[in-house]
Amino acid sequence: MTVDLGSTPVRTLQTADGRLAYREAGTGQPLVLLHGGFTDHRMWEQQIPALAATHRVIAWDTRGHGASDNATRPFRQVDDLADLLRGLDAAPAILVGLCMGGGIAVDCALEYPELVRAVVVSGVGTSEPVFEDPWVLEVMAEQQRALAAGDLDGWADAFVRWAVGPHRDLSEVDPDVTRLVREMGLTTLGKHTPDEPDHRVPVTDTWERVPGIKIPLIALNGALDTADHLAMAARLVDLVPGGRSVAIPGAGHYPNMENPARFNAELAAILEQLP
């Protein structure tokens, strides 16, 4: 069963430093979807209606992404999430996050455990990533070179490589997936200027602290994701008591977009098993 979202609007929550945008559907246990870096809540288009059949689903745009306002002063993404959960009376919530969003979800379990019921991450460990794979370093350098040159198309081409991954070429990935990844990336990039300060304040000592997480934590990864992303997710579930991993075959860094039916089924099974 799925829910017809129709024209469900993008709403905003006013904070001390601008508005946070989100989309909401369904009723029941709150479940928050946290997107990856440079994307926005649209990456969850295939999850929102399916999950809204059984949960109150909230898909937000992190500050500086999508329809959310940019920061004008130092902030922590995890504090924004806490403000969202409290402002929408949505705690304790199940947090489902991919890459950057998964890191924010883990941060929330560390900083605000009373607001979190369970965490499901995809392609991430904590908000302190470890990148050492040559392919990953090459793509990151390619993005930086394009930015320095003001080459937005070049940056977008490099950004799309995360969706393709090191094991395939572009022709092997659904063009609708790469189109949306590119569109979201350029939308978020267009909100910022090259000389804009990065106001993000990190959460620290996350890897040392994750063994203290007491709630269920599951990694739901694309089997074709990069070695670094899979290694970080594996390290995370090894450190958290009771943590475990599930793989989505044939999918890369965005398994929810590439194989939504399998991703949704695996996520539904995880949700059914939560205490």
Which CATH number fits the domain that encloses residue 61?
Answer: 3.40.50.1820
Would you write out the chain's pLDDT as a tens digit for each of its 275 residues?
444 445 578 999 999 999 999 999 999 999 999 999 999 999 999 999 999 999 999 999 999 999 999 999 999 999 999 999 999 999 999 999 999 999 999 999 999 999 999 999 999 999 999 999 999 999 999 999 999 999 999 999 999 999 999 999 999 999 999 999 999 999 999 999 988 999 999 999 999 999 999 999 999 999 999 999 999 999 999 999 999 999 999 999 999 999 999 999 999 999 999 98
pTM of the model: 0.97
Domain count, the chain: 2
Token pair recorded at residue 121: 């991450």
Residues 215, 100 share a domain: yes
Asked if residue 115 belongs to a domain, the reply is yes
Asked if residue 68 belongs to a domain, the reply is yes
Please say which residue of 120, 154, 189 terminates a domain.
189
Residues 241, 160 share a domain: no
The CA distance from 33 to 258, in Å, is 17
Residues 172, 37 share a domain: no
Asked if residue 202 belongs to a domain, the reply is yes
β-strand pairing of 18-25 with 30-34:
unpaired
Please say which residue of 170, 189, 208 terminates a domain.
189
Asked if residue 1 belongs to a domain, the reply is no
User: SS3 sequence, the chain?
Assistant: CCCCCCCCCEEEEEECCEEEEEEEECCCCEEEEECCCCCCHHHHCCCHHHHCCCCEEEEECCCCCCCCCCCCCCECHHHHHHHHHHHCCCCCEEEEEECHHHHHHHHHHHHCHHHEEEEEEECCCCCCCCCCCHHHHHHHHHHHHHHHCCCHHHHHHHHHHHHHCCCCCHHHCCHHHHHHHHHHHHHHHCCCCCCCCCCECCCCCHHHHHHHCCCCEEEEEECCCCHHHHHHHHHHHHHCCCCEEEEECCCCCCHHHHCHHHHHHHHHHHHHCCC
Residues 121, 56 share a domain: yes
Residues 236, 164 share a domain: no
Task: Compute CA distances 189 → 61, 62, 139, 151, 182, whole Å.
Answer: 14, 13, 17, 12, 10
Residues 155, 60 share a domain: no
Residues 94, 220 share a domain: yes
Asked if 199 contacts 72 with a C-beta cutoff of 8 angstroms, the reply is yes
Other CB atoms within 10 Å distance of the CB of residue 77: 24
Asked if residue 5 belongs to a domain, the reply is no
The CA distance from 6 to 9, in Å, is 9
Residues 181, 65 share a domain: no
Asked if residue 3 belongs to a domain, the reply is no
Asked if residue 170 belongs to a domain, the reply is yes
pLDDT number for residue 88: 98
pLDDT number for residue 5: 47
Residues 112, 39 share a domain: yes
Residues 114, 228 share a domain: yes
Residues 121, 141 share a domain: no
pLDDT number for residue 7: 58
Please say which residue of 148, 164, 189 terminates a domain.
189
**DSSP bridge pairs for 245:** 219
Residues 82, 25 share a domain: yes
Task: Provide the residue range defining the domain that includes 60.
Answer: 10-131+198-272
Asked if residue 41 belongs to a domain, the reply is yes
Asked if 113 contacts 95 with a C-beta cutoff of 8 angstroms, the reply is no
pLDDT number for residue 264: 98
